[in-house]
Structure 1
Amino acid sequence: MNLDRRIQLFVVLAAVFVTSLVVGDIIGVKLFEVNLGLMAPVMSAGMLLFPVTFLLTDILNEFYGKKVARFVTWVGFCMAVFAFAAITVAVRVPWAPMTQAADYPGTVARSFDNVFAGSQRILMASMVAYLVGQFADIAVFNGLKRATHNRMLWLRATGSTVVSQLIDTVVVQYIAWTGVLPQKVIIQIILTSYVVKLLVAVGLTPLIYLGHAFVERKLGIAPVVLGEDGEPVNLAAPASEAPPARAA
């Protein structure tokens, strides 16, 4: 099997995307404050990996099209389900008697369960929000790409995030924290998380252009160009033969 650059890049992007998704779900039980001067918003630690998934989703959309982006979305969902099942089994497996000794230096049941039993709820919330948010992101991204005739990369990248992350943030925070945190705190987390995501999305715009240029010029992989029917017209063509894509 010949792994050309397009396949190699796809494998790397998909692997990093799925890893970021699952790890982000697991560490999402931790809340931290960001000191912004006049305010200190509370956010989930899962936010730390948001920039990675945001960037990778746009690159997958840009260079492989919506069908491939949807495929990776389903792979990520299946891996999240797998992680949820593995954590559920690990939480329910009985602890060895030696771990109950007062002088036992390793991880004890209470510490383990506080982290991983709590992450089960985060995983469930994230899986629901993830599917809805990702498919919304893919649809908006490709809709804007078609409407702008493959131009204005910044618009489709940021515009898709504005819509998808609003959905994702509201769904995941309500499912994860309802009954655990006061309603006021949940709303605060939603608002601050969403504002930060929008700021990150805008701040990542230069990186999106850099990633776009690196993949197209250094790796020789052409971005997908959408036709009038919204379907790719150059996905199978080498970069040197593909129609030129106008990113801005």
Structure 2
Amino acid sequence: MTGTIQNIDGVSGARRHFRYFDYVMAAFVAILLLSNLIGAAKLATVGGFTFGAGILFFPLSYVIGDVLTEVYGYANARRCVWMGFGALIFMAFMSYVVVAMPPAEGWDGQAAYESVFGSTWRIVAASVLAFWAGEFVNSFVLAKMKIITQGKHLWARTIGSTVFGQGVDSLIFYPVAFLGIWTPQQVLTVMVTNWLLKVLWEALLTPVTYAVVGWFKHREGVDVYDTGTDFSPFAKTEAV
């Protein structure tokens, strides 16, 4: 079952095609791939704080995830999570294939190429598992909080869902990817620091989230409440 779809004026509406859903999903997947391709494995230190470089834009995927759940409902956000999951696996597979191909004679960039794109199986597995679990927790918490708050206090559910979603993401990713490679202290420091920074990012972006959510709700003319939704990650999702 899917959630109740209401028009902005409160009148129940039938399930229909959304004008902007495909664009939001594309942005979600693009940011997800970029965050894992560019910043997942790099440690950076700025102002005495050590953190993973992906922190610069990865939280945007959670903001978009919040918009997806808030505007289109958990069932449609679930579709995007599975799309992102498949895209991550495809990216990892193609990265492996391209890096493994014998370099042409005279091309001396193989070592640098391997350094940038040759992620270990641990990082790949950690990225995929952490994203999958974290995004579903994020969407679940936001959808449930929306029902509890009766659609009020958007800031509370976007930040609250990030606390839990990013917490699960960080708890999976850093130990699986780097424990034994980094020292336990480094893993713990980066895990906690990145979690705090991601939550802070979400809080700072609250005005943006309000503006974006309001714009999409007005343009789409809907406000979804997941009162009858099957929250299983494996439930069948109807097409929008």
Match of 1:224, SS state, is strand
Greater length-normalized contact order (CA 8 Å, ≥ 6 residues apart): 2
How many angstroms apart in 2 are the aligned matches of 1:143 and 1:220? 22
Give the match for residue 18 of structure 2.
Answer: 7
Give the match for residue 212 of structure 2.
Answer: 211
| Counterpart amino acid of residue 97 in structure 1 | E
* 1:222 lines up with 2:222 in the alignment: yes
How many angstroms apart in 1 are the aligned matches of 2:17 and 2:64? 15
Give the match for residue 41 of structure 2.
Answer: 29
Alignment of 1:81-230 (within 5 A): 81-100=89-108, 108-118=109-119, 121-217=122-218, 219-227=219-227, 229=228
Report % sequence identity.
29
How many angstroms apart in 2 are the aligned matches of 1:226 and 1:120? 36
Larger Rg: 1
How many angstroms apart in 1 are the aligned matches of 2:56 and 2:120? 16
Give the match for residue 62 of structure 1.
Answer: 70
How many angstroms apart in 1 are the aligned matches of 2:213 and 2:127? 28
> Does the 8 Å contact 2:74/2:226 carry over to 1?
no
In structure 1, the gaps of 5 or more residues are 101-107, 232-248
In structure 2, the gaps of 5 or more residues are 1-15, 231-240
> Does the 8 Å contact 2:144/2:226 carry over to 1?
no
| Counterpart amino acid of residue 9 in structure 1 | Y
> Does the 8 Å contact 2:96/2:118 carry over to 1?
yes
* Alpha-carbon spacing, 1:223–1:133, altered in 2? closer, same or farther (3 Å): same
Aligned match of 2:29 in 18, 27, 32?
Answer: 18
Cα deviation digits, residues 179-230 of structure 1 (max 9, x gap): 221111111101110111111111111111111222233x253221344x46
Give the match for residue 12 of structure 2.
Answer: none
> Does the 8 Å contact 1:145/1:156 carry over to 2?
yes
> Does the 8 Å contact 1:26/1:119 carry over to 2?
no
TM-score by length of 2: 0.83
Aligned length: 214
> Does the 8 Å contact 2:74/2:229 carry over to 1?
no
> Does the 8 Å contact 2:138/2:161 carry over to 1?
yes
Give the match for residue 237 of structure 1.
Answer: none
Give the match for residue 241 of structure 1.
Answer: none
Give the match for residue 74 of structure 1.
Answer: 82
Shift of 1:160: 0.7
How many angstroms apart in 2 are the aligned matches of 1:99 and 1:111? 11
Aligned match of 2:53 in 45, 48, 59?
Answer: 45
How many angstroms apart in 1 are the aligned matches of 2:29 and 2:99? 22
Match of 2:106, SS state, is helix
Match of 1:97, SS state, is coil
